[in-house]
A = this chain, B = another copy of it.
Amino acid sequence: MPGVFVRRLLPALLAVFAATLVYSAELRSPYQIVEQAPVDHWRELESQNTLYIELTDGLVVVELFPEIAPGQAANFKTLVRQGFYDGLTIYRVVDGFVAQGGDAEKRREPRRGKRQLAGEFEFSGALPYDFTRVDSDDGFAAESGFMNGFPMGREGKAQWLLHCPGAFALARNDAPDSGGTEFYAVLGHAPRYLDRNVTVFGMVRYGMEHLQSLNRGQDSSGQLEPARRNPIHRIRVAVDIPAGERLPLQVMKTRSPSFSELVRSRANRPESWFVSRPGYVDACGVPVPVRLSP
């Protein structure tokens, strides 16, 4: 019996004690956590799956999560690499909702890749990343949190990327399998009711402010007349750009202790400024930190 205690119970008790210590240690502020996060709590953007979108106002960098939508992500990269988007426009902008771009007039025929293919609204297979839970029921998902740096919802076997600000997704018509070329980025308060209705397959990692300052449409549809559309000068896959011309962007690993503390700190801001703390935060209320490599 003493042997069992020393070999099994004592380590378990010590682990519980240590966990209590860690959890009750004074939280750092979100800014401190990001600033002090060690090098190995960050990862580079996946250059094979990162898009550089050149707009008139500046550069927008999007990282894709191809495992969640393999067919659509591969098709999109194929289109990008043949220059399908170069010279097209962002033609629909609804303030506080979305900016949508692509081939508004359906005039350009893909040489390779498809204009429309099967929607991949959710994914039920195994994914090779840890899930960091933020919420056990946010009203839109049985659980929500993060995987591989992307906000994610889960319910049963279904896994999908959330419509948080910066979500990068494929527009479609009425038919579920009618999307492929037209993309949008989420601008404002998370339109989570769109979750599981379209293929969300990436996140804006840099340059959101250039999407926020685009010309808007004049009515609620957000459609822009041709003369006011926002040019897309070029889209490239990062790995196709000479390394010296790429931005050294890094994203915080959402499975890192820094990120877990960030979630707790966002729910219970420790700064003395706060007089009221909700003890709660929604997944879209925890923007994943991005930085230029120091």
Q: Are A191 and B285 touching (Cβ within 8 A)?
A: yes
Q: Are B216 and A176 in contact (CB under 8 A)?
A: no
Is A108 interfacial (CB-CB < 8 Å)?
A: no
The stretch of A66-74, A236-244, A245-253, A264-272 that contacts the partner chain: A264-272
A interface bracket (residues with beta carbon within 8 Å of B): 35 or more
Copies in the complex: 2
Cα–Cα, bound, A272→B173 (Å): 10
Q: How far is the CB of A81 from chain B (nearest CB, A)?
A: 30
Cα distance A139–B31 when bound, in Å? 23
Q: Point out the residue from B193, B277, B287 that lies within 8 Å of A267, measured CB to CB.
A: B193
Q: Is the CB of A276 closer than 8 A to any CB of chain B?
A: yes
Residues of B within 8 A of A112 (CB): none
**From A280, which residue of chain B is reached at the shortest CB distance?**
B139
Residues of chain B contacted by A130 (CB below 8 angstroms): none
- Which residues from chain B contact A59 at a C-beta distance below 8 Å? none
User: Digit string of A105-139 for contact with B (CB within 8 Å is 1, else 0)?
Assistant: 00000000000000001000000000000010011
A192 in the interface (beta carbon within 8 A): yes
- How far, in whole Å, are A229 and B191 apart by their CA atoms in the complex? 31
Q: Are A276 and B121 in contact (CB under 8 A)?
A: yes
Select the stretch in A4-12, A38-46, A207-215, A254-262 that faces chain B. Answer: A207-215
Q: How far does the alpha carbon of A287 sit from the alpha carbon of B284 in the complex, in Å? A: 18
The distance from the CB of A14 to the nearest CB of chain B, in whole angstroms, is 33
Contact flag A284-B209 (CB < 8 Å), given A139-B138, A278-B140: no
Contacts of A276 in B (CB 8 A): 121, 195-197
A197 contacts B31, C-beta separation under 8 Å: no
Whether B220 contacts A31 by the Cβ 8 Å rule is yes
Picked from B173, B176, B266, the residue with its CB within 8 Å of the CB of A275 is B176
* Chain A interface residues toward B at CB < 8 A: 31, 95-96, 121, 135, 138-140, 164-165, 173-174, 176, 187-193, 195-197, 208-209, 212-213, 216, 220, 266-267, 269, 272-278, 280-282, 284-285, 287
